[in-house]
Amino acid sequence: MRKNPRSIVLMFVGVLSALMVVGLLALAGMSLKSNAADETSTQSGAPTPEGTAEEKPKEEKAEVKEGEGEECCKAGDTTAPTELVEKVPPGHLHSPYQDYAKLAKDDPDLVKQFRLPGCNECHGGTGGGGFCPALTQGVWFWGNTDDVLFRLATLGSAELEKRGFVRYQYGSVHAPMPPMGMTIKTSDQLWKIIAFIRSINPPGANPPEKVIPGKMADEKH
């Protein structure tokens, strides 16, 4: 029997429509399955990539007080002495030139660092004394640690006393030590001056042989 062409077209359209419906149902089923899986994952507490970033505890940085936990001091430091004494708490200034005898031997011009800011005008060309006490006598009026010597040279004796440091004794000259922090350009230069002063003192006058720490006013009693 010969089929009507119109019936053939209608049958083809019907088959095509059925296939489209099946395809749409399949896609809908996959979408529902995916949503169900996501919902289950969320309910079970499994972190998503975004959730991981949000739920990860923030790292709290410990507060570091100024001058603490920092290495002080380093050779070649170009920080002005006046700036360094404000940044570093009392007792925490340490010379990078601990082997001052070796430094003086290796650098015969170390005395020039002492003369540049004019220290020689009061204490003599080689520290042996002028109209101010000799630096070769091993007598320390405020203490002899790196910290107190650096602050004394930078601030001067009057300001050092204002900041709570106590003078142990007086020498033959009672004139105050002037502040040299504005004249000495860098902390490194001042550390070299202190190294020179240590190198010309008699044995036992310098740390670690004979430590005389800077004494604060609230430590007197």
Digitized pLDDT (tens) for each residue of the chain, 221 residues in all: 555 555 555 555 554 555 555 455 455 555 545 554 455 444 444 444 444 444 444 433 333 344 344 568 999 999 999 999 999 999 999 999 999 999 999 998 899 999 999 998 888 887 877 788 889 988 899 999 999 999 999 999 999 999 999 999 887 777 889 999 999 999 999 999 999 999 999 989 999 899 999 989 876 54
Q: Give the E-state strand segments of 106-197 in sequence order.
A: 165-166
What predicted TM-score, i.e. pTM, was given to this entire model? Answer: 0.67
| CATH number corresponding to 81-212 | 1.10.760.10
Which residue, chain included where needed, has tokens 């430091």? 77
Element (H, E) at 215: strand 215-216
Q: How far apart are alpha carbons 61 and 71 in whole angstroms?
A: 19
E strands present in 113-199: 165-166
User: Pick from 149, 157, 156, 160: which is nearest to 192 by CA?
Assistant: 149
- C-alpha radius of gyration, the chain, whole number: 40
Per-residue pLDDT, 217: 85
pLDDT at 49: 45
* DSSP E strands, the chain: 165-166, 215-216
pLDDT of residue 97: 96
Domain extents in the chain: 81-212
Amino acid at 97: Y
Residue 5's pLDDT is what?
55
